[in-house]
Structure 1
Amino acid sequence: MRNERPIIALDFATKEQVLEFLKGFDGSLFLKVGMELFYQEGPELVREINRLGHDIFLDLKLHDIPNTVESAMRGIAKLNVAMVNVHAAGGLEMMRAAKRGLKGSDTQLIAVTQLTSTSEEGMQKEQLIPVSLEESVVHYARLADDAGLDGVVCSVHEAEAIGDACGEEFLRVTPGIRPSQVSADDQKRVATPAEASRQGSTHIVVGRAITKASNPKDSYQQIRAEWSGQ
């Protein structure tokens, strides 16, 4: 289930910036559209990216009562995105409702475990979760698996443990990917593409290391080669 294309996080505020960025690339890309961009530009941007032949991870992190999430997913199903996510903290019934909302579509559904900006100390103090960060993440992964989801968002550092718990076919989508020379910014649990490859990630998400690079296409190719072990 490993995807050889790094997912590029479109860290832009407008459709015009996105389309200008995409002019520098050839072939089909896997692109992440997050909340900032989606709330500015809406579903039409997703449709336009689809028309250009790219795959989309719609990173909206839905977290609400089951009926609301199911209804929202019925709308998302019409957008024909490759992947969408919810928060595992919403619980088993919410995740099952999200899955029902996508019925009949090919969209993969994954769940956020713990954000890569969350430290173990922060999780224990702010969320009152007394176990280790890895235990919390693996627990959420098992819950997502029980709900019938395709995988989870996690850090590289938990990917191997999730594979052991949920099977190698279970998706482990890992943000916080930084080439060694790039700053970690606001993320605490980061890794290089090579580390992600070794530790069992099935997908990697890379943003500023590509979008803010002086030559984004070259940066993308370098990261892809490191991810692929070339």
Structure 2
Amino acid sequence: MDQDSRIIVALDCDSRTAFDDTVDRLGDECRFYKVGLELLTAVGPDVVTSLVARGKEVFLDLKLFEIPNSVAGAVRAAGARGVSMVTVHGMGGRGIMSAAVDAARDFPDLRILALTVVTSMTDDDLADIGISDSAEQQVLRLARLADKAGCHGVIASPQDVAALRDALGADALIVTPGVTLPGDSPSEHARPGTPRAALTAGASHVVVGRTVTRATDPAAAFRLVRDTLAV
């Protein structure tokens, strides 16, 4: 896998104009985009169709957490639109994750990824919802459950990658949001890391957001991220 396809740009846009502008300015540099709840709610699912039509891969970050039948229906809808990855919430349990995996079987290029612990959450946040284990322990627990359910991989912070790679083996996808370049603010991420550190630890993909999309020249910013991976 070449470095460009391992970098996913998060389109945290609130309008079609902002979406089109970002994608147009990145041009051929970026091959893989994350579409999350903000963009999907503000603009609608046609943004996914638009990206696929441009030859881009789409990581649809829905964090599905519903009854298994509803989750399966959402996964089938994502597959029909040509999505490459879709997320389910590991906290939903094995039944929900298995339903997503089963629904994806009709779409050979669709991968199901389980969210472990949101990168903004700390040990204190977990304690607030009755989980006494640390974030690291909870990440590993949910990752192992996702593996048993047949998920193709997990979403976790850069700081969790090394332990996850040991636990899940060489073939699992490990996608890491919360990556920033040295000197950048980690924003709302409580467990950040650099793209190079994440990939060195064993991540299959890194997700970058404002570092690229809010830059004066997004294409140049993307190239800078890529260059840090080649050092």
TM > 0.5 fold call: yes
Aligned mate of 1:214, from 209, 213, 216: 216
Q: For the residues of structure 1 that align with 2:4 and 2:142, how far apart are their CA atoms?
A: 26
Q: Relative to 1, partners in 2 of residues 1:4 and 1:52: Cα closer, same or farther, differing over 3 Å?
A: closer
Equivalent in the alignment of 1:110:
113
Q: Which amino acid counterpart does residue 139 of structure 1 have in structure 2? A: R
Aligned pairs for 1:7-86 within 5 A: 7-27=8-28, 29-86=31-88
Q: 1:128 maps to what in 2?
A: 130
- Report the residue type matching 2:157 in the other structure: S
- Kept in 2, the 8 Å contact 1:33–1:56? The answer is yes
Give yes or no for contact 2:3–2:226 (8 Å, CA) kept in 1.
no
Greater shift after overlay, 20-29 or 139-148?
20-29
Q: Identity percentage over the alignment?
A: 35
Match of 1:77, as an amino acid?
Answer: G
The letter for the 2-side match of 1:80 is G
The separation in 2 between residues aligned to 1:129 and 1:98, in whole angstroms, is 25
Q: Counterpart amino acid of 1:110?
A: L
CA displacement, residues 6-47 of structure 1 (integer Å, 9 cap, x when unaligned): 100001111221111122234251000000101122221111
Could you tell me whether the CA contact under 8 Å between 1:63 and 1:86 is conserved in 2? yes
Stretches of structure 2 that go unaligned for 5 or more consecutive residues are none
Residue 2 of structure 1, CA deviation = 7.8
Question: Aligned letter for 2:114?
Answer: A
In the TM superposition, what are the counterparts of 1:47-196 in structure 2 within 5 Å?
A: 47-105=49-107, 106-123=109-126, 125-196=127-198
Partner Cα separation in structure 2 for residue 16 and residue 67 of structure 1: 34
TM-score between the two structures when normalised by the length of structure 2: 0.94
Q: How many residues in Structure 1 have an aligned counterpart in Structure 2? A: 228
Contact 1:109 1:149 in 2 (8 A): yes
| One-letter code aligned to 1:196 | A
CA distance in 2, matches of 1:102, 1:163: 23
Aligned partners of 1:185, 1:26: CA distance in 2, in Å?
26
Contact 1:33-1:57 within 8 A present in 2 as well: yes
In structure 2, relative to structure 1, the CA distance for the partners of 1:110 and 1:222 (3 Å cut) is same
- Read off the aligned partner of 1:59 and give its amino acid letter: D
**Alignment RMSD, CA only?**
1.4
Q: Give me the whole-angstrom Cα distance separating, in 1, the residues matched to 2:199 and 2:104.
A: 30
Q: Give me the whole-angstrom Cα distance separating, in 1, the residues matched to 2:2 and 2:118.
A: 21
Q: Could you report, residue by residue, the CA deviation over 1:117-151 in whole angstroms, capped at 9, with x for unpaired residues? A: 0011221x212112222111011011111011100
